[in-house]
Amino acid sequence: MQKKLSLFNSTTLLGQILKGWIKPQILFSLFLLGTPTLHAEPDTAYINVGQASVKKSLAAITPLEYLGTPSLAKAYLKYEKELQDIIEKDLTIVSYFTIQDPSAFLEHKKGLRPYPVDSNGFDFKSWSSIGTEFLIKTGFNITDNKIMLDTYVYDINQRSLVLGRSYNAPLKDLRGVGHKFCNDLIEKLSGKKAFFMSKLLVSRSTSKTDKEIFMMDWDGANQQQITQKHSIAVSPSWSSDGRYIAYSVFNFHTKAKTRNADLYLQDLKTGKKTIISAVKGLNTTASFFPDMSAAIIRVSPSNGTSDLYKLPFNGGKREQLTQGPRGAMNVEPALSPDAKNVAFSSDRSGKAMIYIKDLASNQDRRLTFAGQYNASPAWSPDGKQIAFAAHIDNHFDIYIMDVDGKNLRRLTDEKQTGSRRANNEDPSFSPDGRLILFRSNRTGHYQLYAITVDGKNEYRLTFDKYDYYRPQWSPFLN
């Protein structure tokens, strides 16, 4: 039987809080962002996430309650709205919940704790009567440029507290506070990590001719420009620990009087940037080994060939992994999570298709056989599936298949304004494997979207007039 906690266990710290013996405000100074819970919590997960499609629980998210001086409430309204938006968006996109419409609520402006613990507390019956399964209540205060978020999540059917935590961080990290709470909640409910603290890496237009590398929150917010090259920076990628990134920049070489696509490695912790491959031609698309001993890269010399190489980081000689055949283009390497195989796109059959190379045996295996052009393979974090973009009927869509090429299915199918089919390209899995990031030109510009791996739920992440290229979802970040 699933273990539950009574709300009124006064022997726990939380029980004392609920009884009113300890004020939550006193505890704010004891807890920093990501610190331990305020109480002993059940060990058993509430949501079974053994597969992508799970029964959605009905959840109610009440408006944030301002816990500070009432006269300052209006001054902090914008922060209240931002936090509310973050929480609702995070908990909607994971597809574990159906969020209830506030118009269905029978109670409004009740406290964070239940009656009679709080004389103005909520009534469990008011929520069970409208079918609510999880009730999410949050309150906040702002002092000395710090945001303090107090969170309570209740299982209405069991009349128990699922999660009760407080977070304290600089006000400039308000978005991180909201994401951290949602991260903790999903991990508590499902027993699995959530991706809300992860980042996106992407090449983004900055002018009609220039593209730079940008990093942002998973939802497209907090965009940070990584490169300042005033040129074309493309093909970003992450190391498996999230500390390093790679990307290519078309640099102007004075002696040669020409531009060359040089491959950079950048340490996000120190900011150090190093050119790791500068063969005359194109040096792009690094896929890192988990131990950072090497990367698989694409090198296209000016002689017109294009092959994959293993590039060691200890100064050793690069190793050529593909060689044609017959001058074929071998591009877009994607190393498997166990580093035993590399997926890539090759036109050796006449049309670009997806292949897998076994690095131990050096044997290649063709995975796809349909369409005019198959590109940008991406591995699921568990190594069981590969997503890619396929050009069929004059447009690209995102497809997913098992690593043996079976169980192929299309995830996207959208139109632009009018009757033309939109292009959906460059897939990348979320670190938990439940979502696939991609770009689409359905609005006229290439914007960022995410879709669940079953194709049932899709979300737009960016809302601007820039164009985004080759988006890459980070691994789990600390």
What pLDDT does 48 receive? 63
| This model's pTM is above 0.85 | yes
Determine, yes or no, domain membership for 135. yes
Beta strands in 158-316, from DSSP E residues, in sequence order: 160-170, 199-205, 211-217, 224-225, 233-238, 244-253, 258-267, 273-277, 281-288, 294-301, 307-312
Mean pLDDT computed over 348-366? 96
- What does the pLDDT look like over 374-433, one tens digit per residue? 999 999 999 999 999 999 999 999 999 999 999 999 999 988 877 789 999 999 999 999
* Of 426 and 305, the one with more pLDDT: 426
Residue 278 and residue 364 share a domain: yes
What pLDDT does 416 receive? 81
What pLDDT does 420 receive? 85
Last residue of a domain, one of 139, 164, 190: 190
Residue 184 and residue 68 share a domain: yes
Which range of residues forms the domain containing residue 63? 13-190
Determine, yes or no, domain membership for 249. yes
- What does the pLDDT look like over 166-193, one tens digit per residue? 999 999 999 999 999 999 999 999 999 9
| Residue 170 identity (one-letter amino acid) | P
Residue 230 and residue 127 share a domain: no
What pLDDT does 257 receive? 87
Decide: 356 and 383 in contact? Cβ < 8 Å: no
Determine, yes or no, domain membership for 468. yes
Determine, yes or no, domain membership for 21. yes
Query: What does the alpha-carbon distance between residue 439 and residue 471 come to, in Å, rounded to a whole number?
Result: 7
Determine, yes or no, domain membership for 213. yes
447-452 vs 97-99, strand pairing mode: unpaired
Residue 255 and residue 142 share a domain: no
**Number of folded domains that form the chain:** 2
Residue 254 and residue 172 share a domain: no
**Short-list 46, 51, 47, 92, CA closest to 382:** 51
- Where residue 54 sits, what CATH number does that domain have? 3.40.50.10070
Give the chain's mean pLDDT.
89
pLDDT at 270 over 80: yes
Residue 184 and residue 214 share a domain: no
- Where residue 222 sits, what CATH number does that domain have? 2.120.10.30
Determine, yes or no, domain membership for 8. no
Residue 289 and residue 425 share a domain: yes
pLDDT at 11 over 50: no
- Which pair of structure tokens corresponds to residue 386? 């590969």
At residue 44 the predicted structure's pLDDT band, cuts being 50, 70 and 90, is: low
- What does the pLDDT look like over 192-251, one tens digit per residue? 999 999 999 999 999 999 999 999 999 999 999 999 999 999 999 999 999 999 999 999
pLDDT at 108 over 80: yes
Residue 217 and residue 161 share a domain: no
Residue 238 and residue 100 share a domain: no
Last residue of a domain, one of 190, 208, 241: 190
Determine, yes or no, domain membership for 7. no
Mean pLDDT computed over 66-81? 94
Last residue of a domain, one of 126, 157, 190: 190
Residue 304 and residue 179 share a domain: no
Residue 304 and residue 219 share a domain: yes
What pLDDT does 41 receive? 53
Determine, yes or no, domain membership for 478. no
Residue 156 and residue 241 share a domain: no
